[in-house]
Structure 1
Amino acid sequence: MRSFDLTPLLRSSIGFENLGRLADFATRDEGSAYPPYNIEKLGENEYRIQMAIAGFSEDELELIVQENSLIVTGRAAEDEGEREFLHRGIGKRAFERRFQLADVIKVTEATFENGLLNIGLVREIPEHKKPRKIHIGGENRPKAIEGENAKGVKAKKAA
């Protein structure tokens, strides 16, 4: 029997465990692992995606939230002059990275500092989806309607 490694499914999805969507997302060919990234859980409802994109400037990056996807795109600008490299070890190539987001995950901020793109996410659960306690008996129990007994027959008034 084969065992399945689910880590590729979980590393680019934030805030939900819908296995059907995750399996579909994982079967698509993403190409390379460039640029490298981390997904951190900062608190109960806070997350951060941190991408290492050395060599890019802020105007070469684009973040788009579309439906339940966060799309991060980097377009390398053309070098203005002739540059001769003896060794080119900093990979600055165009990329597009997609992250699947749950319905309750919202992108709150994006900062770019020291070659790291930080994208702040927060989980905002609507009031109707939050758990609520249901009381048994007590106040929520239906009350008898005055003037009728249990069988729906009008009660006789005692004189």
Structure 2
Amino acid sequence: MKINKTNAARMLDKAKIAYELIPYEVDESDLSAVHVADQLGENVDQVFKTLVLHGDKTGHFVCVIPGDKELNLKLAAKVSGNKSCDMILMKELLPTTGYIRGACSPIGMKKHFPTYIHNTCLDFQLIYVSAGQRGLQIKINPNDLIKEVRAEVCTLFTEE
């Protein structure tokens, strides 16, 4: 099966960063990272989802967290230099990032936004993030991803 390169993959090629494109079965009724992890047969803690937020002071920013976790908006606001922040509306995702829900990659958005990745990414040799289209993930070393998107490693949720 031929896998078409996504914009995110082309950017990694250009930066000479090693990665692998991993296809999976899409379920339009369940676009969650938990479903993606099940499809890949991987630990959900290794499959990261990309969330786009808007802060009251800094504007748009990106948080990348393990697929089954809930982003703590207070922590996200604090690390990004905001007093408060909210997830952007679904209808704003495509015009803001160039990506649709269920296929938002931290790599290759329309413009670079400040990016924050949860520190557990460093627990793994390789993690998964969206490749920019539904049904396709990028398997990448977290340090390479951090370097490419100029992410700040921090705490974005609290373990209960």
What TM-score do you get using the length of structure 1 for normalisation? 0.22
More helix by share: 2
* Structure number, greater radius of gyration: 1
What TM-score do you get using the length of structure 2 for normalisation? 0.22
By relative contact order (CA 8 Å, sep 6+), the higher-ranking structure is 2
